[in-house]
Amino acid sequence: MTSIGAADGESPTFVASSPPFPGAQAYCAAESRTDPDAPLLLSFGGKSDSWSLCTNTTDNANGRVDLVFSPVTNHPHYAFSSCNAVTIQMIQG
């Protein structure tokens, strides 16, 4: 799976392709600014504090909660007021 990137107000998108393409190079692991011993955080474009969980309001989403990068107002698939900021910890299994 390769990411085609994240954009403000959108969910990250991943695609499978053959042959694979390089995908977005802007994802990285970032250290926590408040706890140096915490797990690494998922970052995109140098931002690890721009992720939110937003309730999808489209007819067939049935209230599904989507991960959104830097939510925007007046988006057709969610209400900005439904978004809750999250940080995504990267944990090795």
Per-residue pLDDT reduced to its tens digit, 22-71: 777 788 889 988 888 899 999 998 999 999 999 999 999 999 999 999 99
pLDDT value at position 61?
Answer: 93
The torsion region of residue 63 among left (phi > 0), alpha (psi -120 to 50) and beta comes to left
Provide the pLDDT confidence category of residue 13 given band limits of 50, 70 and 90.
Answer: confident
User: Is residue 77 within 8 Å of 44, Cβ to Cβ?
Assistant: no
pLDDT value at position 1?
Answer: 57
Strand duo 89-90 + 40-44: pairing: antiparallel
pLDDT average, residue stretch 65-81: 96
What number of other Cβ atoms are within 10 A of residue 55's Cβ? Answer: 16
Instruction: Answer with the residue of higher pLDDT: 16 or 57.
Output: 57
Q: Which residue has the tokens 């085609």?
A: 4
